[in-house]
C-alpha cells in the first residue's frame, strides 16, 4: 500500500497531478491510500515518491466533477475519484452513465459541495476591524462550512469585495485578501470579532427583501439552516418578521401593481410570427386552450402556449410552463432557457425540430414587479388541471419517448413528486406506459454559478445524449 499525502492548501491541483502520474504509471486504485493534511498515519503505508507516467487525457466533465468532489468532507473522496478515473480508461463514456452507482455517488457529492458553496456566499457576514492609519478598510468573518470549500469559494469574495482587505476564518482553512492579493492559511479557532455598523445595514436589507406573502418557515430553515444563524445579525429579526407577516402580506396585496393588458397584447401581436411548425392541429389546440377556465392562470397571461412540432414526432419534450417571452410570442421554449436548450441539444445530436415541444402548464404564471414579470412555479393543482391538455397532446402525437425537463413536467407525466436530483437520467413511465426520461430544466443551468456551469451543462448534455440513444433503441424493430 502506498500513501499519497495531499496538502491542505492546493489539494485539488496536487491530487490532479498525482492522479495523472499514477494512472500513467498503471498504479491500481486498491494499492493507494490517499490522505489530506495531518491525517492519521497508516502503519502499513509507505510514502510514495512522485511516479512518472505516460501522457493521460481525461474527459473535461471529469475534471470539473473532481474539482468539486475533492472539496467534500468524505475521507474516501480521493479514492473514489481515482477509482472512477481508472475505469474511465476503458470506458470513456462511463461519466454519461447516470445509472452507474460510482458516477451517481460522485455526482451527489459534487452537489453537496455546490450547495455548501452557495451557503458560504450567502451567509458569510463581515465585521469591520478598526486599523488606525490603514488606507484600506479591513473586515473579518467567521464561517463554519460543512466541506473544504474555502479555496474554491474565496474568488467569489475577491470579485465582490475587491476594494477592501478581508479575512474569512474557518476551522479548516482561512482566506486572506490584502492589498489585492489572495492567500490561504491553515484553519483557526473562532476569533473575537467586534459588532459593527454593517450589522444594522444587514438588518435593514433583510427587512426589505423579506416577502411576507411568501413566508414558508420550513423552507426558510432548509435554505438558511439554524447552524448559520449565530453569525448572522439579521436572523435576530426572524421571529418578529414571522409574527407580522400576515398583516404585511395583506397590505402588499392591496398595494399590488396591475398589469397593462393592452401593452402586453400589442407586444404579443408584434412578436407572433406564423411558423411552419405550427400545424393546423396545434391551431385548434390554441383556440381550445384560449377558452380554458380550469384554473385562474388564464386571467393574467397574454395567451395560452400550445405545443409545436411534427404531429407524429417520436420524441416529445415537456417543459414546465411558458416564460415571459413564450407568453408574448405564443410559442414554447423561444426565450433564454429554450435557446440554451437548443444549443446543448445540438451538441448532443438532438434536433429539436424533429420533436414535439410542449409544456406541462400552458399559461405563464408570474408575479408583477414593476415592469417585470417574475416567473412563479405552478402548484400541484394547476399542474393537475392542465394535465388533460398534455394528455390530449400525447394521445394525438403518440411519442415513443418523452423527455421531461424539470420537476413540474415529471410530476405531470408520472404523478410522482419525489425529489428530482436522485431521479435524473432515469427512465420512468406515464400511467399508460410511455417511457419518460427524467432530466433537469434548462433554466436551472442559467442559475448555477459560473464556476459550475460547464460541469452542469456537461451532465445535461449527457442526459440529452441518453435520450437520443433511447430513441434509437426504441425505433429498432424488436428481435424476431
Ligand atoms: N420554460 C419552460 O418550461 N417552457 C417554456 O416554454 C419556456 C421556458
136 and 18 assigned to the same domain: no
194, part of any domain: no
Ligand 1 pocket check for 326: Cβ under 6 Å:
yes
**Which residues contact residue 191 at a Cβ distance below 8 angstroms, ignoring those fewer than 6 apart?**
140, 142, 169
Ligand 1 centre to CA of 338 (Å) is 7
399, part of any domain: yes
292 and 345 assigned to the same domain: yes
277 and 387 assigned to the same domain: yes
Ligand 1 pocket check for 151: Cβ under 6 Å:
no
Ligand 1 pocket check for 338: Cβ under 6 Å:
yes
Read off the CATH number of the domain in which 427 is found: 3.40.470.10
Identify the weakest region by mean pLDDT among 39-53, 116-130, 447-461: 39-53
What's residue 252's pLDDT?
Answer: 62
246 and 216 assigned to the same domain: yes
What's residue 279's pLDDT?
Answer: 43
Ligand 1 centre to CA of 322 (Å) is 4
Total domains present in the chain: 4
Q: Output the nine-digit C-alpha cell for 247.
A: 398583516
67 and 41 assigned to the same domain: yes
158, part of any domain: yes
Ligand 1 pocket check for 323: Cβ under 6 Å:
yes
- In which band, very low, low, confident or very high, does the pLDDT at 225 lie, cut at 50, 70 and 90? confident
Hey, how many other C-beta atoms are within 10 angstroms of the C-beta on 436? 21
Ligand 1 pocket check for 378: Cβ under 6 Å:
no
192, part of any domain: no
| Strand 173-178 versus strand 165-169 pairing type | antiparallel
Residue of higher predicted confidence among 43 and 183 = 183
Site of grid cell 400550445: 306
Q: Global pTM?
A: 0.48
Separation between Cα atoms, residue 426 and residue 294, nearest integer Å: 32
182 and 212 assigned to the same domain: no
Ligand 1 pocket check for 341: Cβ under 6 Å:
no
Q: Which of 83, 101, 120 is the last residue of a domain?
A: 120
- Which atom of ligand 1 is nearest the CA belonging to 405? 3
Ligand 1 pocket check for 321: Cβ under 6 Å:
yes
Ligand 1 pocket check for 330: Cβ under 6 Å:
no
480, part of any domain: no
Identify the weakest region by mean pLDDT among 47-51, 77-81, 143-147, 324-328: 47-51
Ligand 1 centre to CA of 410 (Å) is 14
Ligand 1 pocket check for 322: Cβ under 6 Å:
yes
14 and 128 assigned to the same domain: no
Q: Which of 135, 156, 186 is the last residue of a domain?
A: 186
7 and 106 assigned to the same domain: yes
386 and 343 assigned to the same domain: yes
Q: Average pLDDT over the chain, rounded to whole?
A: 85
334, part of any domain: yes
Asked if 290 and 304 count as a contact pair (C-beta separation under 8 A), the reply is: yes
- In which band, very low, low, confident or very high, does the pLDDT at 275 lie, cut at 50, 70 and 90? very low
191, part of any domain: no
Ligand 1 centre to CA of 332 (Å) is 6
**pLDDT tens sequence across 178-212:** 999 999 999 989 888 877 655 665 566 566 666 66
Ligand 1 centre to CA of 364 (Å) is 9
**In terms of DSSP H, where are the helices of 236-299?**
238-243, 245-254, 261-271, 280-290
Ligand 1 pocket check for 335: Cβ under 6 Å:
yes
pLDDT over 50 (residue 43): no
**Percent of the chain topping pLDDT 70:** 79
Q: Which of 99, 120, 141 is the last residue of a domain?
A: 120
Q: Which residue segment(s) compose the domain that 223 sits in?
A: 200-252
195, part of any domain: no
**Which residues contact residue 79 at a Cβ distance below 8 angstroms, ignoring those fewer than 6 apart?**
29, 32, 34
289 and 377 assigned to the same domain: yes
282 and 411 assigned to the same domain: yes
205 and 312 assigned to the same domain: no
- Which atom of ligand 1 is nearest the CA belonging to 408? 3
Question: Strands, E, within 279-349: which ranges?
Answer: 315-319
Amino acid at each position: 500500500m502506498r500513501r499519497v499525502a495531499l496538502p491542505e492548501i492546493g489539494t485539488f491541483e496536487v491530487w490532479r497531478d498525482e492522479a495523472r502520474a499514477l494512472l500513467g504509471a498503471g498504479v491500481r486504485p486498491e494499492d493507494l491510500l490517499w490522505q489530506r493534511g495531518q491525517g492519521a498515519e497508516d502503519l502499513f503505508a509507505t510514502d510514495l515518491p512522485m511516479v512518472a507516467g505516460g501522457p493521460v487525457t481525461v474527459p473535461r466533465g471529469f475534471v470539473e466533477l473532481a474539482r468539486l468532489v475533492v472539496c467534500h468532507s468524505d475521507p474516501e473522496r480521493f479514492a473514489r475519484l481515482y477509482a472512477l478515473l481508472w475505469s474511465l480508461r476503458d470506458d470513456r463514456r462511463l461519466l454519461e452513465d447516470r445509472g452507474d452507482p460510482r458516477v451517481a455517488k460522485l455526482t451527489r457529492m459534487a452537489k453537496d459541495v455546490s450547495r455548501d458553496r452557495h451557503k458560504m456566499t450567502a451567509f458569510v457576514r463581515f465585521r469591520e476591524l478598526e486599523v488606525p492609519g490603514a488606507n484600506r478598510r479591513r473586515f473579518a468573518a467567521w464561517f463554519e462550512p460543512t466541506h473544504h470549500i474555502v479555496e474554491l469559494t474565496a474568488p467569489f469574495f475577491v470579485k465582490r469585495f475587491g476594494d477592501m482587505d478581508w479575512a474569512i476564518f474557518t476551522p479548516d482553512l482561512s482566506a486572506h485578501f490584502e492589498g489585492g492579493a489572495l492567500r490561504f492559511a491553515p484553519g483557526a479557532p473562532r476569533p473575537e470579532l467586534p459588532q459593527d455598523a454593517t450589522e444594522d445595514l444587514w438588518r435593514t436589507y433583510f427587512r426589505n427583501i423579506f416577502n411576507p406573502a411568501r413566508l414558508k418557515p420550513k423552507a426558510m430553515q432548509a435554505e438558511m439552516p439554524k447552524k448559520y444563524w449565530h453569525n448572522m445579525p439579521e436572523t435576530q429579526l426572524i421571529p418578529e418578521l414571522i409574527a407580522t407577516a400576515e398583516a404585511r402580506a395583506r397590505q402588499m396585496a392591496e398595494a399590488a401593481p396591475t398589469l397593462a393588458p393592452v401593452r402586453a397584447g400589442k407586444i404579443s401581436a408584434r412578436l407572433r410570427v406564423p411558423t411552419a411548425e405550427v400545424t393546423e392541429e396545434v391551431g385548434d389546440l390554441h383556440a381550445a386552450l384560449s377558452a380554458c377556465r380550469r384554473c385562474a392562470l388564464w386571467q393574467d397571461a397574454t395567451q395560452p402556449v400550445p405545443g409545436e412540432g411534427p404531429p407524429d414526432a417520436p420524441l416529445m419534450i415537456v417543459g414546465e410552463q411558458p416564460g415571459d417571452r413564450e407568453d408574448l410570442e405564443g410559442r414554447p421554449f423561444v426565450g433564454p432557457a429554450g435557446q440554451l436548450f437548443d444549443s446543448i441539444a445540438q451538441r448532443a445530436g438532438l434536433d429539436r425540430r424533429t420533436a414535439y415541444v410542449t409544456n406541462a402548464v400552458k399559461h405563464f404564471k408570474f408575479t408583477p414587479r414593476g415592469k417585470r414579470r417574475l416567473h412563479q412555479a405552478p402548484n400541484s393543482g394547476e399542474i393537475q388541471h392542465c394535465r388533460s391538455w398534455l394528455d390530449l397532446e400525447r394521445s394525438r402525437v403518440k411519442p415513443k419517448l418523452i423527455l421531461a425537463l424539470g420537476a413540474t413536467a415529471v410530476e405531470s407525466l408520472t404523478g410522482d413528486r419525489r425529489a428530482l436530483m436522485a431521479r435524473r437520467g432515469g427512465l420512468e413511465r406515464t400511467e399508460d406506459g410511455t417511457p419518460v426520461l427524467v432530466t433537469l430544466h434548462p433554466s436551472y443551468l442559467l442559475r448555477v454559478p459560473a464556476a459550475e456551469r460547464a460541469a452542469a451543462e456537461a451532465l445535461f448534455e449527457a442526459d440529452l445524449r441518453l435520450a437520443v440513444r433511447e430513441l434509437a433503441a426504441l425505433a429498432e424493430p424488436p428481435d424476431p
